[in-house]
Amino acid sequence: MTDEIQEALDKIFAADSEIYQDRGFQRRIGYGTRPALINIDLANAWTRPGNPFSCEHMDVIIPATQKLLTAARAKRIPIVFTSTAYNVTDCHNTDMGLWHHKIPAEQLQVGTWETEIDDRIAPQPGEHVIVKKRASAFHGTYLSSFLKAAGVDTVILTGVTMAGCVRHSTEDAIAEGFRPILVREACGDRVPGVVEWNLFDIDAKFGDVEPLDNVLAYLEGLELRNDLAAPYDGA
């Protein structure tokens, strides 16, 4: 994004912040005590170049996500990845709904390399990979019930796209009773201006946008979660 565009956005956001603040928006929801890390659609179709879904700034998003994964694994907090993929993409009895009338969803076939999580941030055994059909990670999936069963109160969100799947996952997260924390350096889209606007707007209404260092410091300060590794005792 050029300096001129960034300067224009900063000017707009400053004016819009006054409007929001005057009306009681831009409050902070804050961190809870039992987080989970949710990585939205960081699969090859979005993270690698040459695909219609390819997003920008992966040279920032992937390293930031790697740092978050290292910190989250050290504390044994729940980690979830999502990908968007479809079983039937020939438009006959398709599970794409009508989305393929707007985007090239037919290129997101279950079981293909494109819909696999980027191996630079590969899930480890025991980490969930949820294949979703809609934008939100919560829509039609078991994510909410899994998080509640694990006692999670905070979801740390990374991924793409900021205007689509990340945004809708954030909106559903707060509606489901979780505190959404978006990591600025770990969220992206295909258009830089879309990233900045949605981060600004989400921070005003749905979740807290925090810098990577802040989130890493929060994770570092957590107690190690041993309860998730304990065997089921039948209680």
Where do the structural domains in the chain lie, given as residue ranges?
A: 32-223
Give this prediction's pTM. 0.90
Interior angle at CA 74, CA 73 and CA 77, nearest 5? 50
Average pLDDT score over the chain: 92
pLDDT of residue 20: 81
Contacts 24+ apart (CB under 8 A), 211-217: 211/183, 211/184, 211/185, 212/64, 212/67, 212/68, 212/183, 212/184, 212/185, 212/186, 215/68, 215/156, 215/181, 215/183, 216/67, 216/68, 216/71
pLDDT of residue 229: 47
* Chain centroid, CA 14 distance in Å: 26
Catalytic residue among 55, 91, 165, 187, which? 165
For range 78-99, the mean pLDDT: 94
Does pLDDT of 93 surpass 70?
A: yes
Structure tokens at 230: 């304990």
Q: Looking at domain 32-223, does it have CATH number 3.10.20.740?
A: no
Q: Is 91 a catalytic residue?
A: no
pLDDT of residue 24: 79
